Each structure stands twice: as structure tokens, then as C-alpha cells.
Amino acid sequence: MLKLNPTERVFPGKAFLHSFLTMEHLDNSDNIPYINSAHKLILKCRLGSSNDSGDSLDSDLVAQRSLQVPKPFSELQSEKEAEIFKRLRRLDPDKNNIVRFYSCFKYKTCFCFEFELLDISLYDFMERREWKPLSVAEIRPIAQQMLVALTALKSIGVTHSDIKPANILLVNQESKPFKVKLIDFGASCMTSNFTQFHEIQSFGYRAPEVYLGLRPDESVDMWGLGCTLLFLFFGQHFYPTSQCEYNYMKFIVKLHGTFTDENGNSYDHLESLDDLQKMVPDIKDPTELGDLNAFIDLIKNMLVVDPLKRILPADALNHKYISMEHLNEVDKSPYRTMAKEIMSVCELSRKTDIITG
């Protein structure tokens, strides 16, 4: 490039094929973390958007794609995840609030998965807020979008199996507040393939039937989502994240009896889900109080210990908390106006739009 004689200077087209850019010299390297990092950076350059406004995610073309390389796991597991993504391609990722999957390929012993670039996770979002809880009006659009996602997954017979704040990402925190998508299908499974020996879900978000060794189904995702919504409501994990199964089940059976985990976090603040109202005692607006009660009612239907009685995603979408039917059109309160504005990020699509691509 810096040859003094301009006739000897490399042409752009030839420079593009240089080993430094093609990275062919890295093929024999065993430094997998470095190679993954290099591929990720060059991929962002190669697939970068010509629109630098930061708002290009709104267009049909994705601004950037990121290369996600999961932790080392078996080739069989990687191939299973690839099969799940092929099935997910039946769904419209934007209508159904699921991360857009582009491709996967194998590099030596690693499987690489290529997705659209999204913003931070709900967990990171709460951390940046210094764990300040969200209002039920702010939680609603997140709940609605995830219920749409679960409805779509159920329609193709897939269970996510790891619903938690870290696996729900904001699309664009600045231009689309509370617009989210579901990610990380590494633990996902065809619902019909579940066995009673499947150990799924993260501690603190794991449904009781999994601990009891019962055969799980897609209702475990509803439990995980209910726990996630309560995480947003409290600004901390609702159920103990201890790996002690006895304490976890004792906590559930006693409906949140006294328990302190290894980090010193106490979980004796409630005796039943009805006591959630005590967490926001300063609410005076009857409209806001009615909205809180609607939220609590949905949570109670999501966190039913018996999976057969747990609310289905499609039914939850019609719950008054999501539909806001309890917020009377005649009511001109500032709270109702604010709640309606926050929900504008959601496309309250027809049911047929929700489950088809």
C-alpha cells in the first residue's frame, strides 16, 4: 500500500484478497478465542450499514450482524440448535419478537451462529438503572411481546426452556424503548421430545415440575416469563437463585416463606402473590391501582404450580392487563394516557399474524 512507486502500489481489489483481510493464515491456529474475536470484528465491518444514523434497524436491511459463538459443547447439541433455527425460520422474527437468525457454520471444532445485532439485555438494562423497578405500565409491553413470542413458539412445537432477563434483549434502547426480542435458543427443544430427565432452565427461573422430575412441556416458558416480569417489578430475582432444590421447593410450597441465599438476600418479604400490592404502597391513583391489580392477577395465572392449570400464551394475550380493557376509555387520567403511549411499541396484531411468518 505504501510503495513509493505508484505503479507498484496494490490495487484495492487485490488488497481485499490479502491474507490479512481473508484471515487464511489463521486457519492453522489453535487460539480459538482470538479467531472468534477477529471474525466478529471483520464481520461487523463487512456487513456494516451505509446508514450511520443509528436508526437503521427500522429498515428492512439490518444494520449489523454479530457472530455469536456459544460455549464449547457437543457437535450434536450444536446441530440440534441449528435445526431449531431452521424451524424458527417459519416465523416472522419481527412480528413474533424473536431474534433474526442468518446462518451457522463450523470452524474447526466450533459452531458459529450469526444473528442480527440487538441492544442490551433486560438484566443489563436493570443493572444500568441500579436495579430500580419498572412500573407495571412499563412492564406491560415487554410482557405482551414475549407472550407473542411464546404463542409463536408453541405454534411450531418449540419450547425455549431458558426464559430469563439475560435472554430478552432490547432492540434499540434509544429509538424504540421497551421493544424487545427473545434470544439464545441453545437450550431449546422440540416440545414433543422432552423427557422427564431434561434438566432445563436457570436457577430462580425453573418451574417446579422440573425440580420434581416430571416431564416438562412448553408451560415451563410461561413460568420463566412470570419470574422475569417479577424481576422487573422488584428489581431483583423473585425466587431464590440458590442451587439448593430443597430450599427452592420449600419457598414455593410455603408461598415465599423465610429464606436467605448465599449472597444474604432475604426472600421473606411476601407470604403470597396477593401481597405484591404491598410493594408499592404509595399508589393513590385508582386507575394505577387497578392496573397493578390486573398485573398481579396475570402473574398469579402464570405462576401456578400445576403446569396443567398454568395460563396459555394465547389466553394471557387476552388478559385484561395486556389488553388494557380495565383502563376505561372514558378515563382521561394521566396514568391511562401514559400507559397507552408506552404500549405504542407493540404491534397488537391479529392472532393470525402472530403465529405465521
Instruction: Cite the active site residues.
Output: 162
Task: Please give the Cα distance from 343 to 329 (Å, whole number).
Answer: 15
Is residue 205 within 8 Å of residue 146, measured between CB atoms?
Answer: no
Distance CA 35, CA 196 (A): 39
Phi and psi torsions of 77, nearest 5°: -65, -40
